[in-house]
Each structure stands twice: as structure tokens, then as C-alpha cells.
Structure 1
Amino acid sequence: MKANLIRLGVDIGGTFTDVVLEKNGSSFSTKVLTTYAAPENAIIQGMHQVCAKAEIEPGAIDQIIHGTTLATNALIERRGAKTALITTEGFRDVIEMRTESRFEQYDLNLNLPEPLLPRQMRFTVKGRVDANGNVLVEIDKSEVETVVDQIAEAGFESVAVGLIHSYLNPAHEQLVRDVLAKKLPDVNVSISSEVSPQMREYERFNTVVANAYIKPLMASYLGRLEDRLCEEGVRCRIFLMHSGGGIISIQNAADFPVRLVESGPAGGAVFAAHIAARHKLDKVLSFDMGGTTAKICLIKNQTPKTSRVFEVARTYRFKKGSGMPISIPVIDMVEIGAGGGSLAYVDTMRQIRVGPESAGSEPGPACYGRGGERPGVTDADLVLGKLDPKNFAGGSITLHGEKSKSALMAHVGQALEMDPVEAAFGVAEVVDENMANAARVHAVENGEDLSEYSMIAFGGAAPLHAGRLCEKLGIERLLVPPGAGVGSAIGFLRAPFSFEANRSVYMKLSDFDSQKVKTLLCDLKREAAGFVRTCDEFSEILSEFKVYMRYSGQGWEIPVELTEEQAMNPDAVAFQVRFEDDYTKLFGRPVAGMDVEITVWSVNATTPSEKVEPVAATDGADTLVVNGARQLYDPATAKFVDAQVVPRDEMEEGQRTAGPAVITEEETTIIVPASRNAIRQPDGCIDVVTKE
């Protein structure tokens, strides 16, 4: 990548759109309310604001990196295109039958989520490929044409094609695609052997359906965005952040929009990994809390944990199995409906609940004064003294404390006989405990002890809650980096160009075929590198190899990383050793005498990551003396206390502020609990540590 480029990072969230511009080593940022009807309007508004700060014209921008929640929201809200599925005869109901697992074992009234497409939108064709990729029954082209005629008559806008075992032999899917292209040239088509060429038909069919469902919407949005930017004189290339933590071209994003489903949170994880590398931290809990959701991610050795399957729109208390599984490379994180706009209420058991419903930006929490009547987390934070009503979002929004108190009383206080402060404290504690529980479960599922971790907090609301979260989790160190309020957008500018290619080819180590393995990995390496070259023609491309392995008879695999030497000169013994090492780390010991299977092969092509200069940390010997103070509710003593108010830009390197304190900046506020000190590190990070 060329040096000294003027780059723009844009993150569309559920409440705010964050915009960051980097020019000659300087950064300029802003937050504007997301415009749901036309999200590109908020981007243009934010772009003009940061360009004015940087004293440049929009036409001077060299590169735009964009991440968005639009794909996720379209799936959650079921407002995608009118979509049809063509599948193999006998498999019409796979996306409705799911895996038949019960995500809540003892709920006798359990309702499974509705499939994305009802039965009348699912069509079948004869033709069958077996589990080895051999054709058992040839597909009948005339039958395919008849089905396509039915789809044309019904007026579908998009078609997903998912045939059994097509990840091994895509010929039948390709024939269906060719017929669709000839008879319906204006209809979008997605085939599972390109979108997600992996085993397990429920996950694969669901992924290709999701891709087809949001493809017209995303193509329309990306086209409008390009046109609007051109009208503003911006002629540079636009790239999209994908769920795996890298950047792809706008054309690849339009073809595979399902890869954008977690793009915003992925940018945040990249941002946190960059900070972890700067401070030489090997165990980090990334905490990203915005206006709509909170995201928690484990980062080990400065690398976010990744997965190849995740769930969108969990419907039952965020339990695994209650959402739509999407089978794509993704940064592994827990996402819960606990943002600044998450709405609070009292349930039938007289318990305070928060989220997942959010006030978003339209109308927003009650304190925004935009018509919202129900209390959000931001209302509770305002009543507890965490927010300055006259300096929220850089002063662009004036908050109304009386509206917050009225909403809290109407929806929480009256039902539980609490005053507004008690109601606000209850809401804040519930949302903090929800996030703490999510972090604990995520750590246990990955065999990690959070007391050994440091936290990196970012997003507009995270620094308000991170100190209390650390107290609950027993985490001693919290870092809040510069630009924390727009952390995901900054993360986009730190991400490499990358693309991960996957393929399911079943193989036992007892039947290991070295030449077949080498050919497969070389093909995947070439495929992934081809996508990266569409973004960057000149940079070096590195390859990362991974295989998913399990003992024979097990239902799920673990990811095993390979060096390039092991991938290009594959050996069954080396694969066995790597698998047993990783299996032992997860489960304590290997299983003797059992054969090992490989189910999925993966190659990630990536440009080199940005070099990170380590920071020489300071212990904060100088105490900062401030005159300003305000009343802040202390959850440890359940009363208001005098807290120092410190403008972040007035803290100098090495200066220490004792809690309770409020550290203010334009895009967020850092709450330092009474149990902690805050130290400004040389790179501008605020280091919140336990008092000795």
C-alpha cells in the first residue's frame, strides 16, 4: 500500500455512523446519527465534517474503507429481496428442519425460528451427487428449465441454488446457474459451491439463501453510495470490511454480501488487536459497546479468534442454536443487545430487563428529545452522572435529563417502587451484569481465565461501562485508546486486504494422500490470492493455512494452523502432531488409538499487516490536579460522590488521576471507578488500573 494516502474509514452502526479520516499521520473523526432510509446520507454528512477538520476537499481522498450493519439488519428484520431456493429433491425442508437440536432443552413451548424462506418459495430438481462427489443421478436440464419458468412467473428478484454435496462437485449447480442466467438475466443468482463450499447442508443452504436474500439490497446500496460519492467529487476506490477481519473490493462485496454480516464488529476486533500489539499484550478481552449492541472478543497473541460458522439474529435470550447459522470465515465474538440505545423494561417476574430491542437513532433514547418515550441505557447513564448533557457526541446532541427520569419512572420505577436514581442504577447494573455473563460464558467455552486478561474498550458507550465490567470480571487493567468512540472505523484503516477460501474434502489420516492435499491447498491459495489481487496489485501476499480436524466419530472439528512448509509438503505424521497439540490445549489430553479426520481446508491470503511500534509504558508518577468536579453515582457505595472531571486532551504523558473520575472527550466518556487509577500512556491510551 502506498504511503501518505488520505484514507477514510466509515462504520454504519445501528445508532451512529462513525467517520475517520487519516492524513499525513493525523486523524480526524466524527459521529453522526445513522440515516436508516438512505444510509449513504450519513456517510456524506460525516465525510464533509472530517474533510473540513482536515482542511481538504472530498476529492482529495485516496481510499475509502467501509463497514456496515445493513446486511445484518436486513436478515434480522426480514426485509430482503423476494428470494427463491432451488435444491435437490428430498431436501426442500432442510432449512426448516434445521439440525433438530433444542437450544432450550426443558422449554416445552419452544418455538424454533422461522426459516428465511417459507416452503412455497423453495423448489426442487432431480439429480444427485454422493458424498464422494460422484454423480448418482444426472440432472435433467429440461426439468430445471420448467422450475425456472415457475420462478419467472412468480416474479422472484433473487435465486439461491443449494444442491446436496455440491461442495465436492459443483457441476449441477453451475448448470442451474447457466439456465437461470439465460432465461432470467436480470435476476440475482447465488450458488452454494461459490458462497460456502463446505459440508453440512443446513448451514450451507442457509448461507446461500442469506446471500441471495440480501444481494439485491446491498448491490443497490453500494451503487447508490458510489453515485453519491461521485457527485461529491470523490473518485477513489471503495473497499469493504468483511467478517473475517480483512478488506475486499466493492465488486466482491456485491457478489458475496453475506461476508459483510459482521463487518463492523470485525473492524473493532482488528483495532483492539492493533492496540494489544502496541502494548505487547498477549491476552486481551476486546469490549466494543455502541448504540445498539455490545461485542466481546478474545484476542490471543495479538490475533482475534476466528471461526467458520456463526449465528445471526438469535431469538431466544442469545442462546446458541436459536439463530440463523452463517457458514463463512468470521472473527469469533459474542454479540448481545446491550448498547446505549437498548431499551429497559420490567418483565412479568418483576425483574428489570434490558434489550435486545433498541431505540436506535430514530427516535433514540428518551433523553435525545426526538420523540422516544422508553428509557434506554443512555438515559440511565445520564441520570447517574456519567454523561454531560451539554457535551454529548461532541455537543451535536443536547440530552434532556428530565425526559430520562420520566421515562425511567414510567417504565421501571413505578412498577418496582423505585425513584429515578434507583431505577437508573438497576438498569445500569443489569446491562453490566448481562455483559459480564456473556464474557464469562465466552471465556469458559474457550477454556480461558479472564483474570489473566486485560481489557481494551472502545465504541461510544464502552468506556462508560468498562471500569465497572472489569470490577465484575476481576480484570485488573483496562486500556481505552485514542479514538475509542470510533474504534471500528479506525480498525478498518488498520486491516489488511485479505480473503479466505474454504473447501470441504473429507480425508482420514490413515488414508492421507500427500499429492491430493498439496494440490488442494495450492488451488485454495491461488483462489484466495486472486481475490486479494483485485484490491491490491503490488503488495506482497502472505498465505495462512488451516485445516479442521476431529477424531473419527466426533461431530465437530477444531481448527489447526499449519506453516507454509507443512502445507506445501504435507505429511500425515506432522498433521497428527499439530492436531494432538491443539486438542490437548483445549481438552486436557489426546485420545489414544483413534483415527483422525480432516473435513475442511482453508487458506487465507492477506497483505502484510501494518507494522506496530511498541510503547514504553509508564506507571504514572505525576498526579494530575484538577479543579472541575461533578456528582457521579458510585455503584460500590450506592450513593453519589464527587468525581474529578478531566478533559482527556489535557492529560499529559505519565499523569495519573485517581478515581472516582470522569475523563471527557468529544466522542465518548471514560468512567474511572473509585477502585482504580487512570494513567495517560505515551501513545495516548488511558490506562485504568487497580489501586494498590
Structure 2
Amino acid sequence: MNVSNQNTIRVGVDIGGTFTDVALQHPGGLATCKVLTNYSQPEQAILDGIAKAARQAGVGLGEIGQVIHGTTLVTNSLIERRGAKTAFITTEGFRDVIEMRSENRFEQYDLNLNLPTPLVQREDRFTLNERMGPGGEVLLALDPSEVSAVVDRIREGGFESVAVGLMHAYANDAHEVAVGEALRAALPELSISLSSVISPQMRELPRFNTVIANAYVQPQVADYLGRLVTRLRETGVDAPVFMLHSGGGLITVETAAEQPVRLLESGPAGGSIFAADFARAHGLDKVLSFDMGGTTAKICLIEDGAPKTANTFEVARTYRFKKGSGMTVSTPVVEMVEIGAGGGSIASVDTMGRLQVGPRSAASEPGPACYGRGGEEPTVTDANLLLGRLDPDNFAGGSIRLHPQNSAIAADKLMLSTRDAAFGITELVDENMANAARVHTVENGRDIEHFTMIAFGGGAPLHACRLCEKLGIGALIVPPGAGVGSAIGFLKAPFSFEATRGLFQRMDMFDAEAVNDALTEMEAEARAFVDEGAGGADTEIRLTAQMRYSGQGWEIPVVLPHKAFVETDVDMILAAFEDAYRTLFGRTIQGLSVEVTNWLLTVSTTLPEVERVARHKNGADATAARHRRFFDAALRAEVEAREVARSNMSPGRVVDGPAIIVESETSTIVTSAYRAVGQGDGSLLLLAKEA
């Protein structure tokens, strides 16, 4: 089924830590809603949300032709260690790679540093006396009797899942395939993951981590997805289900069940697609995507209409979200920085008397204190309510009644006045997010002041103006449907699949024939997955090489034209590498050889052309429904603000800050330093008044 078919009634569903967001696309437009996430039965929130959106749109459940889903189930399982009992089979001598890690101390001066515990304990890691060389040559043949003995130990151990990661399997998978076949023959109910399938790339640590993570969550994810499909059919939704993977494309539910590690960041990836679509429509080539929900905030760079992507991702950071304290996996992912700063983030005072916010979250159970569902600790949502930024009678479209007295009681526990506690919480969260944005742009060699922010998620429009003030950003866009942006992004995503190969070559010994053979295989692999979901659709190919100077410990991604290479293309490849290196580090290094380690090829369906939006900067004043007071952080004072319904912000309508623009899923705070202008596509454009 072609994902771009606008005549099909399609549903996007994003399960977040606090809310489950639903967006239903139908011939009459778009119906959206938010329901609280059900932790014990996440599929129930999906069913409730789809039924609610269908009633709103006036369509029957049987008319729905496609369901697109993103989930945090994989990430949560890894963080909370709620996966299957997993065994790991590797080459003799490499049993402890996942425990030794890279020997990098992510907190150099902490004498009591605790490294994250591996997903698989040492006694559950088994070894085989076999060895492949880096060129795929067999150095030590696999002994069938030894494989049989390991299979017996797996059976006796009562394992639910097995990960197989042998040395240099990316170059020759014969030994891994043989081990997998032996396991399937003896234990047909066992979940089996091979590194040569899940992550066929150089570097044993991320490859081993990736295949183990996949095996660890596979039984749980397969069970959940099977349950979801069954329950959808029982309620009358007899439509194919597709999943959004971390790289920002759609895959079939069957592929997702086999390779669930690809779903690690599926929800946030939907948000970046949502923002990228508006970046193209508004003709913006430098965008900072800001997605803030109930549990976390995500920041992503979008350039030339596409989110920045990467081939590695660090999950389950255990030390204050510090880089290096988590588990690095190799899987396609939209590159973003994520911090524990959402509406449900809990505020506390540490042992040194400092105010802290997050990463702990009240989530949906029990939720912030103001929800009246048992929460007793102050959260960001409580602070926004106390500062007048939220209407207690019109939160989530009026479906959730907020209780300011509960927020005040919770805030008093911080040993500050109610106003000081609320202001401190929001200001600290805003500064944490601003720091994350600064670091992310600097790490990518960019100057943040030249970017436009696109804000979405239930919490982002409340904080985006203040964040822009801190970052010196003069233009901000809040798209229509911002409160459920990730779910809408699912509906705009292409079908895509990224194939990877580890193929090490020095550029002064470039073997074009070997590269072309590998790329042909990769394209066939990727097309098979894409055609399964969107057969017959127009496609495009993106090719990336992971490259480095000889002697360096890490690679950078270099985008190359997809073509049949010849030996004379070396100069072109080197020039592309130097351009990418100079962008990141400001200079190149003379006199060093250059190497390619891994190749990445993505096949995706072609995105439809977007209609360009004419920018409105001035016009008639919008009609205010009433006046409210809220605390303006920049002025350190309470201000009289106009409250304007989002529906009154028609193209060219203007409201000067301070103002609050309200809609069912969120509210947009316009601080005193900004003005908001309605745009032709329903977006709000917020501009600094001096701009």
C-alpha cells in the first residue's frame, strides 16, 4: 500500500511516557486526541484513542485502511531491564567485550564510578573456538560438536532468547548462520538474533551490544505487536499495521518483530519528520526541532528539509544522562539530544540544597500532583499551572481537570515560596534545554542563532518562547496539531530501510569492484523490505560511507552519490570526506591516509512535494476571548495577557505578547518580547519584536 495515498483513512499512534497521541487522517481533514498511557496494557490506550478520534472524525473503525505506530517499549525495556532471559554466544576470548566496553571513563574523576551492568551476565555468555579474519577468510573452522554442546547448555539454562555475535561475522556470516540453524533445529521456540543480520558492521562492541539488545527485547515486542494486531481486528480495525523505525521510515510489523532494536527512538523520529515537513513548506534550510512531551524533551537539527541522522545511538544512560554512560548500539537513528525534561518531570532539592528537575517523572501514573490521581511531588506541569500558563478548566481539551491547590501543596515541599518554587522549576528546565540545544549545535559545527525553531509536543509551546529568548533565536513556528506532532509525523513518513555492510578499505587501495558488489547486495536487501510495505511506489536511494583518517578511533558519516564506482572516483570521495570533516572540526589533516570502515545504503519511498507557504509578518489584531495573567520569566513579573483561541489566528492575524494562544492539546505562551502571526497553513509564527 502506498503510504502517500491520501484517499486512505490512516491513523498514527504514538505511545509516550505520559500520553498516547492519536492522529487520524481522513478525507475531511485530521482528527487528533490524547489519552493517558496505560502502562499495564499499552495497546488499550491505542484502542481507546483510535475509537475517540474515529468518533470525532465521523468514520467507522472498519473504514480505517492503515495504522502506523511508534512506541517507547524497546527503550523502556532496556532502561528498566524488563527483557527476556537472554544468552550470548561469541568467539573464544571475546566473552567480556560487552563488560570491558571501550574502557572510557565517562566521569574521569569519580573514584567510585560504576559502569552499567551488561544485559547478559557473564555466566550466560558462551564461547566457541572459531575465528573469521577481517577479510572473511576462515582462520579456525567451526566444530559442530562444540556447537552441539553449547546448544545443550542453552536448553538446560531455560533461555527465552539467544544473541549470536562472532568475530568478523560482518565479513563472512557462515559461522553465525550455522550456529543459528543448529539452535533453530534443536529449540524451535527460541528467539534467535544474529549480528550478521541485525548489525553487519565493523566494531565488535556496538555490534555485540546491538544484537544482544535485539534478542533481549524480541520476545516481549513480538508478543506486544501480535497482541496489538489481534485486538485491533477484534475491535473492527482490520488494517495493516506499520511501525516507524528510529531512522524515520516505515517498516512492516513483521520486520519490527524480528528486528525490534530498530524501534529504539521511533516516537521521537516521528516528531522530527513532522518538523521537517513544515521546514520544507516554509522554505527553511536551518531548523531546530524542539519536541517536549510529558516525560522528555528532544532537540534535533533539520537542514535542507531533512533531519540529521546517525548510525549509532546510546541508550539507557545511567549517570545523569551523561554521554558514555549508556549502551552504544548500531542502528539507523534520527540524531537528537534527549533530556529528562517533560511536563511530568519531578522537582526536588538535593543534599546541597540545590533545586533539581528530572530525570524522574510522574508519567501518567500517578501523574503530576495537579492531576488529582495520587501524585504528591511537584512537577513542571504543576509549576506551569501555578504560574498561570495553564487553564485548570481547559487542559487536554477539558478532559483532565487540574487542581491548583494540589500543585501548591506539592511546591511547598521544596522549602520555597509557591511562586519562587514554580518559577525556579520552569527556569531550570528551560536552561537545561537551552544548554542541550547549544551543545548539540556546537557538536555539529553549527551556529544556533541562525536557526528557526519548530516547537511541538504538549509541553513545547509552553516553553518555546522562553527557550528562544535564552538561545537568541528570533523566529519560532508552532505548527497546527503541535500537541500530537509525533503522531502526525508518522502519517508523513516514507517507507524506508537502511542496509549496512562492514567493508574496510584504505582509499589508496580502493577496490571499486568489491564496493559495487556490496552495494548491489545492500540495495537488493533494502528494496525487499521497502517493497513489502510499499510495492510499486517511487523510491530514492541515499548512500553514506563511514570514513576516518588512519589511526583515528572513530568515523564520520560522508554522504556520497549512489552510482557504480570506478577507481578514478577516489578523488571525489576524498573531497567529500574533507568537506564533511572540515564542517565538523574546522580543518582537515594533511599527510594522513583515509579509510572507509562501513557502508550504509537507504532505500525510501519518495516524499510528495509540499505546498510552499507564504510568510505573513503583519496584519489585523486577533480577537481575544478574555484576559489572563501569567508569570513572564524574562520580566520576572506577572503580566496581563490576552487569551486567543488558536482558531482565531487566521492567516495574517497578529497578537502581540504577552498572550496565550489556546487549543485542545496545548497552549502557546507568547512572552512580552515576541508577537505571533497566523500563517496560511495554520501555523503560528512567533517573531522577536525587534525582528
Report deviation, 1:610: 2.4
Q: Could you tell me how far apart the structure 2 residues matched to 1:130 and 1:468 are? A: 55
| Aligned twin of 1:80 | 83
**Match for 2:98 among 95, 98, 112?**
95
**Match for 1:147 among 139, 146, 150?**
150
What whole-Å deviation, never above 9, does each CA across 1:221-276 have from its counterpart, x for those lacking one? Answer: 00000110110111111000000000000000000000001000000000000000
Question: Structure 1 residues 570 and 401, CA, compared in 2 at 3 Å: closer, same or farther?
Answer: farther
Q: Could you tell me how far apart the structure 2 residues matched to 1:444 and 1:574 are? A: 27
Q: Could you tell me how far apart the structure 2 residues matched to 1:33 and 1:470 are? A: 29
Q: Does 1:400 align with 2:403?
A: yes
| Aligned twin of 2:251 | 248
Question: Structure 1 residues 568 and 62, CA, compared in 2 at 3 Å: closer, same or farther?
Answer: farther
Q: Does 1:231 align with 2:229?
A: no
Report the residue type matching 1:257 in the other structure.
P
Q: Does 1:346 align with 2:349?
A: yes
Is the contact made by 1:620 and 1:680 (CA closer than 8 Å) also made in structure 2? no
Q: Does 1:437 align with 2:435?
A: yes
| Aligned twin of 1:503 | 501
What whole-Å deviation, never above 9, does each CA across 1:61-120 have from its counterpart, x for those lacking one? Answer: 011110001111011110011111111111111111110001111112211111111112
Report deviation, 1:142: 1.2
**Mean CA deviation greater in 131-140 or 210-219:** 131-140
Tell me, what secondary structure is at the counterpart of 1:62?
A: strand
**Match for 1:605 among 603, 606, 613?**
603
What whole-Å deviation, never above 9, does each CA across 1:558-602 have from its counterpart, x for those lacking one? Answer: 111112236588721221121122222222232222211000111
Q: Could you tell me how far apart the structure 1 residues matched to 2:422 and 2:506 are? A: 57
Report deviation, 1:459: 0.4
Q: Does 1:112 align with 2:115?
A: yes
Report deviation, 1:135: 1.2
Report the residue type matching 2:596 in the other structure.
I
Is the contact made by 1:518 and 1:569 (CA closer than 8 Å) also made in structure 2? no
What whole-Å deviation, never above 9, does each CA across 1:455-496 have from its counterpart, x for those lacking one? Answer: 000000000001100000001011000000000000000010
What whole-Å deviation, never above 9, does each CA across 1:120-161 have from its counterpart, x for those lacking one? Answer: 211111111122221111111111111111111111101111
Report the residue type matching 1:280 in the other structure.
G
* Equivalences for residues 405-554 of structure 1 within 5 A: 405-410=408-413, 412=414, 414=415, 418-554=416-552
| Aligned twin of 2:60 | 57
Report the residue type matching 2:629 in the other structure.
Q
Question: Structure 1 residues 201 and 162, CA, compared in 2 at 3 Å: closer, same or farther?
Answer: same
**Match for 1:258 among 239, 256, 261?**
261
Q: Does 1:355 align with 2:358?
A: yes
Q: Does 1:556 align with 2:554?
A: yes
Q: Does 1:209 align with 2:207?
A: no
Q: Could you tell me how far apart the structure 2 residues matched to 1:552 and 1:90 are? A: 26
Q: Could you tell me how far apart the structure 2 residues matched to 1:356 and 1:298 are? A: 23
Report the residue type matching 2:304 in the other structure.
N
| Aligned twin of 1:639 | 637
**Match for 1:629 among 627, 630, 638?**
627
Is the contact made by 2:625 and 2:645 (CA closer than 8 Å) also made in structure 1? no
| Corresponding pairs, count | 687
Q: Could you tell me how far apart the structure 1 residues matched to 2:194 and 2:38 are? A: 32
Question: Structure 1 residues 685 and 570, CA, compared in 2 at 3 Å: closer, same or farther?
Answer: farther
Report deviation, 1:388: 0.6
Q: Does 1:48 align with 2:46?
A: no
Is the contact made by 1:566 and 1:574 (CA closer than 8 Å) also made in structure 2? no
Report the residue type matching 1:632 in the other structure.
F
Tell me, what secondary structure is at the counterpart of 2:664?
A: coil
What whole-Å deviation, never above 9, does each CA across 1:597-629 have from its counterpart, x for those lacking one? Answer: 000111100000122110011112212242511
Q: Does 1:187 align with 2:185?
A: no
Question: Structure 1 residues 455 and 525, CA, compared in 2 at 3 Å: closer, same or farther?
Answer: same
| Aligned twin of 1:199 | 202
Q: Does 1:300 align with 2:307?
A: no
Report the residue type matching 1:187 in the other structure.
L
Is the contact made by 1:285 and 1:456 (CA closer than 8 Å) also made in structure 2? yes
Question: Structure 1 residues 363 and 610, CA, compared in 2 at 3 Å: closer, same or farther?
Answer: same
TM-score computed with the length of structure 2 as normaliser: 0.98
| Aligned twin of 1:287 | 290
Report deviation, 1:676: 0.3
| Aligned twin of 1:617 | 615
Q: Could you tell me how far apart the structure 2 residues matched to 1:183 and 1:339 are? A: 47
Tell me, what secondary structure is at the counterpart of 2:70?
A: strand
**Match for 1:8 among 3, 8, 11?**
11
| Aligned twin of 1:36 | 39
Q: Could you tell me how far apart the structure 2 residues matched to 1:652 and 1:517 are? A: 54
**Mean CA deviation greater in 588-597 or 198-207:** 588-597
Q: Could you tell me how far apart the structure 2 residues matched to 1:643 and 1:271 are? A: 30
Q: Could you tell me how far apart the structure 2 residues matched to 1:256 and 1:43 are? A: 22
| Aligned twin of 1:130 | 133
**Mean CA deviation greater in 213-222 or 127-136:** 127-136
Q: Could you tell me how far apart the structure 2 residues matched to 1:77 and 1:452 are? A: 39
Report deviation, 1:395: 0.9
Q: Does 1:274 align with 2:277?
A: yes
Is the contact made by 2:512 and 2:566 (CA closer than 8 Å) also made in structure 1? no
**Mean CA deviation greater in 614-623 or 485-494:** 614-623
| Aligned twin of 1:571 | 569
Gaps of 5+ in 2: none
Report deviation, 1:332: 0.4
Q: Could you tell me how far apart the structure 2 residues matched to 1:36 and 1:626 are? A: 39
Report the residue type matching 1:492 in the other structure.
F
Question: Structure 1 residues 569 and 287, CA, compared in 2 at 3 Å: closer, same or farther?
Answer: farther
Question: Structure 1 residues 297 and 22, CA, compared in 2 at 3 Å: closer, same or farther?
Answer: same
Gaps of 5+ in 1: none
**Mean CA deviation greater in 570-579 or 22-31:** 570-579
**Mean CA deviation greater in 2-11 or 472-481:** 2-11
Report deviation, 1:25: 5.4
What whole-Å deviation, never above 9, does each CA across 1:439-463 have from its counterpart, x for those lacking one? Answer: 1111111111110000000000000
Q: Does 1:326 align with 2:360?
A: no
Report deviation, 1:3: 3.6
Tell me, what secondary structure is at the counterpart of 1:538?
A: coil
Tell me, what secondary structure is at the counterpart of 1:556?
A: coil
- Aligned identity (percent) is 57
Q: Could you tell me how far apart the structure 2 residues matched to 1:139 and 1:588 are? A: 48
Is the contact made by 2:466 and 2:634 (CA closer than 8 Å) also made in structure 1? no
Q: Could you tell me how far apart the structure 1 residues matched to 2:152 and 2:132 are? A: 24
Q: Does 1:370 align with 2:368?
A: no
Is the contact made by 2:516 and 2:564 (CA closer than 8 Å) also made in structure 1? no
Tell me, what secondary structure is at the counterpart of 1:199?
A: coil
